[in-house]
Every structure is written in structure tokens, then in C-alpha cells.
Amino acid sequence: MDDRNNTIAGWVLAGCGAALGLSIVGGMIFHGERPEKMGYAIEGVEEAGGGGEAKAVPIASLLPTADPAKGAEVFKKCAACHTINQGGANGVGPNLYGTLGEPIGQGKGGFAFSDALKSVGGNWDFERMNAWLTSPRKFANGTKMTFAGLSSPEDRANVIAYLNQQGSNLPLPAAPPPGAEAGGNDAAVANVTEAVKGSTADIANTGTPASGAPSVDPNAAKEPGLGITPPAKR
């Protein structure tokens, strides 16, 4: 009886050992690292987020319709570090009253600007302020400004319009005429259409094609076959 029990136990242990071994071998065979690029590339289909950066919206085209009241709401994100009232004190950041039009990284009651911002040079205009609000670190690498920036072009335009009202009052750029580009394209198409109509009218009224068009013998239809008048026999 004991031999039978030992035999059964031996077969059970052998089976367990075989199962464990197969599991280890299978894991070694089918083991793989996560690929750097999932799936297969399909020609003609771009990856999400691919195709380069989105085309930037010119700030000059947004400022004429910007809303300073909305800009004041967005500016609340900046109020922890900046005051904007006339004569306001500097805090973590400088007072921003009358900033547009002023030299970059200078003045503001002796505020300690970073060397990175001082080295930019020039004055705060709409384009530079838009670039600064988009990404302070890209505008002045090494700046002490820790704010990441505003990703929305509309938010930036509204904030700039609000800042401009606070002691700067620079003239805003004029709004581009509505549909100016589309109107130019329509005019070009209209010109081409008129030219085609003119050529068609010349042929219909005079039987003479427009300048540069190949001549057609009116008697060509009388000749069987190719419909082309043969040369005169000598």
C-alpha cells in the first residue's frame, strides 16, 4: 500500500514539475518588451499630434475683437504675483500698470528682473507680450517667471487688451477686412471665367478662335475619314 501511495505521490510531483517547467519555457519563448511604437503604420494616415505644430494665429488679427473684461477674468491667475493698479507695489512679480510700450526688463520701481529678461531688449509691444504670455521660458530662457503660459490665443488677446487699458493705451491694430482673402480668390476666378467667355464669344460670332488657338478649316467636315481637308494636289 505504501508503495502505491509513493508511486502516486511521485507522479503528482512529476506532473507539477513538468507544468512548472513548461510555464517557464513558455514565458521565455513568448516574453517580449513593449514596443516603442505600438501597432503598424498605415500609409497616408498621420499619427495623432503629428504633422508639425499648428499654425500660430497672428495676435494682430485677434486684438481688434478682444474683450478686456474677459482679460480681467483671466488676469486673476496673475494676481497672486502681480498688481496692476497705478502706483501699486511690486510683489513676487513687478507691478504691471502701464507695461505695454515700456522697455523690457527695466524700470518698475527698481524691481529685480532676471538677466535673461534684461537681455531681450526692445519694448513691450503686442507681439512680444503675446510671445511672453505664450511661454515665458521660451521668450527669455532663464527667467524667474514660473508661470507656464496661456495656451489659448483668445485668452492672450483678451489679457493683452486688458493690460493695454491699464495705463498704456497703445493703438490696437486695425481689423482685417472680412473675407478679404476669399474675395481675392473669387475675383481671380471671375477673371478667368470672363476670359473663357470672351474666347467662346469670338468663335461663335466670327468663326475665328481667340488669339493663339489652332485654326480649323470650315470645310474640314466635307472630307470623309479624318475630317481634315487634304492638301491640294499638284
Q: Which residues, including other chains, have CB under 8 Å from residue 150's CB and lie 6 or more apart?
A: 74, 133, 134, 156, 159
pLDDT computed for residue 112 by the predictor: 93
- Any idea which architecture 59-165 has in CATH? Orthogonal Bundle (1.10)
Helix axes 153-165, 126-134, angle to 10 degrees: 130
* CB distance 112 to 99 below 8 Å: no
Look at 145 and 18; give whichever has higher pLDDT.
145
The per-residue pLDDT of the chain, averaged, comes to 74
| Per-residue confidence band for 54, with pLDDT thresholds at 50, 70 and 90 | low
Looking at residue 181, its pLDDT comes to 42
pLDDT at 11: 72
Q: What is the pLDDT of residues 15-49, one digit of tens each?
A: 766 776 667 756 665 555 555 554 444 443 333 33
Instruction: Return the number of other C-beta atoms located less than 10 Å from residue 156's C-beta.
Output: 26
Give the tens place of pLDDT for each residue, 71-130.
999 999 999 999 999 999 999 999 999 999 999 999 898 899 999 999 999 999 999 999
In the chain, which ranges are continuous DSSP H helix?
A: 2-30, 59-62, 68-75, 115-118, 126-134, 136-139, 153-165, 180-206
- Residues 111 and 113: their CA atoms lie apart, in Å, by 6
CA–centroid distance for 111 within its chain: 35
Handedness of CA 134, 140, 142, 144 (dihedral sign): negative
Ranked by mean pLDDT, the top range of 41-45, 144-148, 163-167, 188-192 is 163-167
No. of helices (H) and no. of strands (E), the chain: 8, 0
Task: Determine the pLDDT at residue 31.
Answer: 52
Q: Hey, which residues does 103 pair with through a beta bridge?
A: 123
Question: What is the grid cell recorded at 16?
Answer: 507539477
